[in-house]
Amino acid sequence: MSVPISQMWTVTSYVIKQHLKRRKRYPLVLMLEPLFRCNLACKGCGKIQYPADILKKQLSFEQCMQADEECGAPIVSIPGGEPLLHPQMPQIVEALIKRKKYIYLCTNALLLEKKMDQYTPSKYLSFSIHMDGPEKEHDISVCLNGTYKRAVQAIKKTVERGFRVTTNTTIFDGHDGEHFRGFLDDMMALGVESMMLSPGYSYDKAPDQEHFLKRNQSYKFFRELLYRPKKSWKFNHSPLFLEFIAGSRHFECTPWGNPTYNIFGWQLPCYLLQEGYVPTFKDLMEKTEWHKYGQASGNPKCVNCMVHCGHEPTAVDYTFGSLKGFFATIKGTILGPNIIPPDSEKMPHLPHKKDVPLPVPDMAGVK
Ligand code: SF4
Ligand code: SF4
């Protein structure tokens, strides 16, 4: 089981309620970014490039509670920056647990062994460890040698202490999906509950702009990685999302599914783009021009984006929004996701507005 039954039930009943209320847009995961500072400086990071006065700032305990209250999503993901640097993080986590929120506390694990005793194991709390692939690839991605070994050590200790532990892996280009299959084996062997995968996003602010996957590169990588997935691999994803990143099906982005709150306010329109801020969650839902985003909009910032925070909520909504989606999810859960063989040239049909030229890259240059 990739998540506890109680979490699955909470999410299922929440989504069904949204459908019964006929809410067209609803949040699934609150992305609560309490600060931007970090103890690493990864080359693909789009969060740590702010000036020192911004990096010093952090959300207060009260702001975190207020954001959770306004949003009402059943899951709270706490990325950053490095959230373990926030002095009130144990109190914030404890209060969210009291509210019965399922929390993913995202960390690069460098401080985890030192700080873990500030937290209590709970079915509501999962440490989500940033692991960008096998040792060599991870250390290159985070720009610090030895980081993989330290994270592995921290994972072992955290699992031993009885915490839920998941991994969170961002994929950049130049990698061979076949080679990463051993990495998935290694993570499961450490005793993690499940793994998350996502193609990287080309943040404007990231120092490295050259190594983000184009859409067809994602298909290629994830077909190599996920074709005939091993039974031992557990993913913290809908099987339909895995089919999406491997190009077996297409989903449009639902950016409202993972609304983001940070020191500037509610971020428009998603976790990745920063097209403005509004003071309330209500404003975010009502004032954002949602039609301007997603692959079909032709927005160049969205054309190659396949990240989980934009598309996993679409997969979940599809599951509960139609019988077809429901049965596809059941099938994918029992038999594993339907992944097209890596040597296939089959591509999903990508919808687009008639007046916008189809901005899909071809396979030229795909390594
Ligand atoms: S660990 Fe995360 S927040 Fe820190 S620099 Fe790397 S990507 Fe950015
Ligand atoms: S496609 Fe990506 S960048 Fe565009 S709105 Fe969705 S999540 Fe944001």
What would the two tokens of residue 33 be?
């970014």
Tens digits of residue pLDDT in 58-104: 999 999 999 999 999 999 999 989 999 999 999 999 999 999 999 99
Higher pLDDT, 198 or 353: 198
Mutate which of 253, 275, 299, 306 for ligand 2? The one with the most ligand atoms within 8 Å of its CB, which is: 253
Specify the pLDDT at position 6: 95
Q: Is the pLDDT of residue 39 over 50?
A: yes
Q: Is the pLDDT of residue 263 over 90?
A: yes
Tell me the CA distances in angstroms from 241 to 157, 277, 326, 332, one per residue in order: 30, 28, 13, 10
> Measured between alpha carbons, how far is 106 from 165 in angstroms, rounded to an integer?
10
C-alpha 270 – ligand 2 centre gap (Å): 6
> Measured between alpha carbons, how far is 270 from 309 in angstroms, rounded to an integer?
8
What would the two tokens of residue 307 be?
């990240």
Specify the pLDDT at position 356: 45
Sheet holding 265-269, edge to edge: 194-199, 164-171, 125-130, 102-107, 75-78, 29-32, 260-262, 265-269, 274-278
Domains along the chain with CATH numbers = 5-335 (3.20.20.70)
Atom of ligand 2 nearest to the CA of 269: 5
Whether this prediction's pTM lies above 0.75 is answered by yes
Atom of ligand 1 nearest to the CA of 44: 7
Closest C-alpha among 203, 206, 225, 223 to residue 215: 223
User: What are 19's strand-pairing partners?
Assistant: none
With a Cβ cut-off of 6 Å, ligand 2 is lined by: 253, 255, 269-270, 272-273, 293-294, 301-302, 305, 307, 309-310
Specify the pLDDT at position 363: 38
Q: Is the pLDDT of residue 360 over 50?
A: no
Q: Does 48 contact ligand 1 (Cβ within 6 A)? A: yes
C-alpha 326 – ligand 1 centre gap (Å): 35
DSSP state of 80: S
